[in-house]
A and B are shown apart, each in its own frame.
Chain A
Amino acid sequence: GQNIDQPTEMTATEGAIVQINCTYQTSGFNGLFWYQQHAGEAPTFLSYNVLDGLEEKGRFSSFLSRSKGYSYLLLKELQMKDSASYLCAALDSNYQLIWGAGTKLIIKP
């Protein structure tokens, strides 16, 4: 079956760095997405990786290892507004997105 695993909840301190991990098992693979979702709002796109390696976008970076079925989202210089859920989703061979349940990130001052 197809499956995405990510931690349910993480806590970090303002100004620190946090890494949110995601492992996936899909029928075929056409890339991995990370979305941010603030409470009561819609998911918004953060990043897309299809090749192995690290993609950096300002304070946020995303890493992919296709051979290990593994990705992580790295958030640097954490701000209170980064408190949100982070959703990992893999695009399978039929170009359907398989979603993880999301990681709720709590930022403490």
Chain B
Amino acid sequence: IAGITQAPTSQILAAGRRMTLRCTQDMRHNAMYWYRQDLGLGLRLIHYSNTAGTTGKGEVPDGYSVSRANTDDFPLTLASAVPSQTSVYFCASSLRAGGSTDTQYFGPGTRLTVL
């Protein structure tokens, strides 16, 4: 592994189903983030984690949950998917020491369609 990986690459999901998007980084970054990107809108932060064992809510957390059991992994769960959660989801990480070291590096994204 080099950088950040996400799985699956894409998924079509029936409304009401539970889904976990996976994210793994091997850069030993402290902070990790989940964003959604919708056409015409900027990246919107769903949840973040400044360090293993802690998580926080971003701009659009409703309907999503996260956990950070270790440094490398930051899964995002949709407990009961709804069509408005159709989006491209990006995971990112940063060293998290302030300033330029807050540069975020992104995974390749997961394209999720909820029908």
Docked-complex contact B98 and A99, CB < 8 angstroms = no
Docked-complex contact B99 and A87, CB < 8 angstroms = no
Tell me how many residue pairs across A and B have CB atoms closer than 8 Å: 50
Contact stretch, chosen from A39-47, A57-65, A67-75: A39-47
Among A45, A89, A95, max chain B CB count under 10 A is at: A95
Quick one: which of A30, A43, A50, A91 contacts B43, CB cutoff 8 A?
A43
Query: B interface, how many residues as a size bin?
Result: 20 to 34
With A42-B109, A43-B90 in contact, do A100 and B104 touch (Cβ < 8 Å)? no
Query: A interface, how many residues as a size bin?
Result: 20 to 34
B contact residues vs A (CB 8 Å cutoff):
40-45, 48, 58, 90, 96, 98-100, 102-109
Report 18 cross-chain contacts, Cβ distance below 8 Å, ordered by A residue: A30-B98, A30-B99, A31-B99, A41-B109, A42-B106, A42-B108, A42-B109, A45-B103, A45-B105, A48-B103, A91-B102, A97-B43, A97-B45, A97-B104, A99-B42, A99-B44, A101-B40, A102-B42
